[in-house]
Every structure is written in C-alpha cells, then in structure tokens.
Chain A
Amino acid sequence: MNIKNKKWWVALFLGPALFFITLYLLYPLLHTIVISFFDKRSEAFVGLENYIYSFSSPVMRAAFRNNLMWLVFFTIGTVGLGLLFAILVDRVKYEKFAKTIIFMPMAISFVGAGVVWKFIYTYRPVMTEQIGLLNQLVILFGGKPQGWLLRGPWMNNLALIFVGIWIWTGFSMVILSAAYKGIPKELIEAARVDGANEWRVFLNVIIPSMAGTIISVMTTMVINVLKIFDIVYVMTNGNYGTEVIANRMYKEMFQYRNYGRASAIAVVLFLCIIPVIILNIRREKGGN
C-alpha cells in the first residue's frame, strides 16, 4: 500500500467519527466553558457571577445537599445490596432466576421506573381507601398514610433515592457476583477450617479479595449519581426540596433561558466528576 493511498483510507475510516466528535463534543465543551462567564444571553462578560450563583444561591445549595444525600445513600445502597445479593444468591438453586428479577429494572427507562414508583408512593387522605401500595402497608401495620414525595428533606429524597437503588442494584450485583465467584474456594474453606465464622470470613477473606471490584463499581455509581436527572424530573421535578444539580441545569436552560447560569452549572457538574475519575485512574495504575 503506498503512502498517498493510505492517507485516503485513514480519512475515509476516521473522517466521519472525527467530524461528529469535534462538532458535538469538543467544540461545545469549550464553548460552554466560555459562555459560563457571560450573561443569560451570552452577550456581556460577567466574570465569576454565574459560578457564585452556582455555589451560593439557596436553590443550588439545596441541589448540592440533595446530590450529596444521593451520593451517600445511593452508593451505599446499590453497592451494599449488590454485594449482599451476589453472596446470598450464590448459595441457592434458583440463582439465575433471582438474578434475572433483580437485574430487570436496568432494562426499563428511568421515566418508566419513575411512574412505577410514583404509583407505589401515591397518597390519599386518611380515612379514604388508599390506592398506593406503600400507604396500604403502613395502614396494615397500624400507621398513618404519608405523602411520601411531599415531606422533605429526608423522606421525599430517600423515597426518590430508593427508586435509583431499585434500578441500579442489579447492575452492581452482576459485576460483584462475577468477582465473588472468582475468589478461590480453598481460600474461603481454609478460613472456615481455621474456625472463622461466616462474618469473619466475609470481613477478612471476601471483602479484601473483592476490594478492587467494589471500588470500581462505587466509582460508576458516584458518577451516575452526580448526573441523576430523569427520576427527579418525572417524580417531583425538584419540588418540595428535592432539586438536584442536573435538573437545575435543565430548568435554567429551558425555563429561565439563562444560558450563562446553565453553562456554569454544567461546568460545575463536570468539576465534581473529575476528581472521582482521577482517583480511579490513579488506583488502577497503582494496582498494576
């Protein structure tokens, strides 16, 4: 193959991809950073004003607080339950069936899952028939029906976070299960023969053997949670104190047409993700 000919092949194979990458990802990325320093119509330079708004306005502070709640509970919930299921279903005959059921929510959209759970959380006033399953169960156990999505900041945010956990636990279960099955059985047996109970085996053998996988699943979950949008948009649209960063960005963009603020919030979102990724790359390099 001669040199001139080769250039044409390279252009043919890479041209389309480079066109899309440049136009839809690289250029907008840089442009967004620039307009984050400009006013709502991208006309006047306003310095750091949009960033000050992003960190100090009450709505954004509430969004940060909620994203932090998501970060803690969603990550612990998905990774914790994923690990628990991975270890438990390994001991029963219907493992495959159980895994299928837990993984299924990964197939449906966040919007669909949002409607599924909004229905479960439906609230009717006391003394009328409840049509939401959760309130019916509460009454069954002698409690009072609640407006699960109305009362904040704990109850409604946790109700939303649980929907996220319901969707993503299957994902972490599948990955953690593969790692769990990779632990040499002799290692676990040896610990048992030495007299360790199941809890000690879990803490001293299983967890250390799976540490790398657990951390990488956690990273995935943290990145997911920072960008969480659909669940909140469909179920509460950020009302009653459930706002999150990505939903606020959408509102600034479409509801208030403030491109400066929306851009600054998008940049802030990216800045939150970068350290997580750097930590992960460092760990992977160190591990090798």
Chain B
Amino acid sequence: MALRKASARFILHSVIIISLIIWIVPTLGLLITSFRPAEEVNSTGWWTVFSSPLDFTKYTLDNYRQVIKAGGMGIAFKNSLIITVFGTLFPVLIAAFAAFGLSRLYFRGRSFIYALIVSLLVVPLQLTFIPILKLYNILNLSGTFTGLWLAHTAYGLPLAVYILHNFFQSLPDDLFEAAFIDGASTWTVFVRLALPLSVPALASLFIFQFLWVWNDLLVALIYLGGSGQVAPLTMRLTSLVGSHGQDWHLLTSAAFISMLMPLVIFFSLQRYFVKGILAGSVKG
C-alpha cells in the first residue's frame, strides 16, 4: 500500500514536471537563441549551449542591435506604446462614463441600451472591417494612429461597459442616494465617489485592454495597411517572418522584444492580470 502510494506520487510529480517543461522550454529556447551569434544559430541547436553554459563568449547582443535599428523593432516598440496607451485610456474612460450613466442615471430605454451594447460583445470584428475601412479611406484615417485609436476605443467598449456596469451595480444604492441628497451634482458623484471606488475593477480592465491592444495583429493590419512607419511590434514581427523567414537569430530577438512588455506586466501584476483575462475572455 505504501509502495503504491509512493509510486502514485511519483507519477503525479512526473506528469506535472514534464508538462511544465513543455510549457517553459519553447520560450526559453527562443530567449537563448536570441543571444547567440548568427552562424552558430544556423549550424547548431540552441540546446548545445548547455554543454558549457557559463562561457559568455558564446553570447552576443548583435541580434538585438540589428533588429532594433535595421529591423525597425525600435520604432515599432515606440509605435506600440503610442497605440496602446491611448487605445487603452480612451475606451476605459468612455466606458466608465457610459456604465455610470446606465447604472446610476434613471432614464427611459436604459436597459435596452445596456442590452444592445452587451450583445455586441459577440459580434466578430470581421463584420465591421470593410465599411469602416471605406470610411477611413474617404476621411484619410487609414494608416494613422488616430484611426487605430478610434477603432480600438469602439472595439473595447462593449466589454468595458459590461464589466464596469456590473461593478457600479454592485455598489450599495444608499451610498449614491446619500450623496445626491447632500446636494452633490452628478459630476461630483461620478468623479469623487464612483471612480475612486472602482479602482480594482478599472485596474483589471485596464490591464486586459492594454494587453489586448499590445498583442493585437488583426486590427492593426486592417487599418494601418502597409504603412511601415506606424506599424506596431506585432505587425513588424510578422513582416520579419515574411522577409527573414530563416534568419532565426533575428526572428527570436524580435519576438522577444515584442514579448517583453506583456511578460513584465504578467509577472508584476499577476493578480489583476488573471482577473482581467478571465473577465475579457469572450472579446472580439
């Protein structure tokens, strides 16, 4: 019996550890390769570094230098940052207004409007691309940051309104009534009461939207088209895969640059991150 139990424990640990290896090794291989010189990357597997892992002459920063400058990953990082900061701020802010209005201002048709916004959560973004692109071509918005910000704002709204509305609904009614009776204006109640109370919900939403925009490829491809000057990391990396398909020393370092920000957020804000991902799983 004791032997059976011990062997069951052994199998349990083996299954988990093998799975963890499958989950971690691909990313680790990418990271190691990104620091190896081009000729070595092409002639031997990255696992060969483990024969003498501390021989630092085997590693180089050349790949990073090359993709950041010539490969355009430096500019792309800046573009991603510009796109993502406003592509996150706008929708969260507008959604906070709308969610507050829908849950705390009593007017006719509000449950209809809420239902309409939430039902749009399930519409695949593909259904919206062509008409908006036609419009953008007329307004000269395709290939611009503004066009992309506005698109991300709209696409982010249904989920953000849904999450924040649920949150505002969960706050006690008495709190708001007391504030209104004390003579506070709608604006004051929103800014001084509702927003500060919803910081945890805003944080999760913020992180979800930030990563969604940062990691987005499709929306950027559609509205930025071929304009390389404004391309974010995901687009730049994709075009490197097309033009340098076999230059693994460049692709691995470019890929790692694109993963840097999400990984930092993941490891530093894991609690909010998990909440945000779980809440936003059905988007787009």
Contact = CB atoms under 8 A, between A and B. Distances in A.
Interface string A116-132: 11111010000001111
A107 B273 contact: yes
B252 A119 contact: yes
* Interface residue tally on B, bucketed by range: 35 or more
A17 B157 contact: yes
Contact of A108 (B29, B238, B251, B263): B263
Contacts of B49: none
A109 B157 contact: no
Nearest to B119: A277
B228 interface: no
B176 to A, nearest CB: 12
B284 A28 contact: no
A140 to B, nearest CB: 11
A54 to B, nearest CB: 13
B114 to A, nearest CB: 10
Task: Name B's interface SS.
Answer: helix
Interface in A224-249: 226-227, 229-230, 233-234, 246, 249
Contact of A88 (B15, B41, B218): B15
A109 B105 CA distance: 39
A143 B27 CA distance: 25
B19 interface: yes
A108 B274 contact: no
B127 A29 contact: yes
A238 B128 CA distance: 22
B217 A17 contact: no
B128 A25 contact: yes
B172 interface: no
A122 to B, nearest CB: 7
A223 to B, nearest CB: 6
B217 A233 contact: yes
A101 B23 contact: yes
A228 B87 CA distance: 22
A183 interface: no
Interface stretch (A152-160, A186-194, A266-274): A266-274
A39 B42 CA distance: 48
A23 interface: yes
Contacts of B98: 13-14, 16-18
Nearest to B130: A259
A283 to B, nearest CB: 15
B163 interface: no
Contacts of B151: 24
Contacts of B254: 115
A122 B132 CA distance: 38
A10 interface: yes
A249 B126 CA distance: 8
A25 B154 contact: yes
Given A102-B20, A111-B217, A118-B241, A227 B259 contact: no
B161 interface: yes
Given A32-B131, A115-B252, A175-B278, A131 B41 contact: yes
A136 to B, nearest CB: 6
Interface string B235-250: 0011001000000100
A25 B120 contact: yes
Contacts of A215: none
A263 B130 contact: yes
Interface in A33-84: 35, 81
Nearest to B258: A112
Contacts of A117: 26
A212 B110 CA distance: 31
A13 B100 contact: yes
18 contacts: A9-B101, A13-B101, A18-B113, A21-B154, A35-B131, A85-B19, A92-B12, A100-B270, A104-B23, A115-B30, A119-B26, A120-B26, A131-B42, A226-B124, A234-B238, A250-B221, A253-B222, A262-B130
Q: Which 6 A-B pairs have the closest CB atoms?
A: A13-B101, A24-B154, A17-B98, A109-B215, A28-B128, A107-B266
Interface of A: 1, 6-7, 9-10, 12-14, 16-18, 20-21, 23-29, 31-32, 35, 81, 85, 88-89, 91-92, 98, 100-112, 114-120, 122, 129-133, 136, 166, 171, 174-175, 220, 223, 226-227, 229-230, 233-234, 246, 249-250, 253-254, 259, 262-263, 265-267, 269-270, 273-274, 277
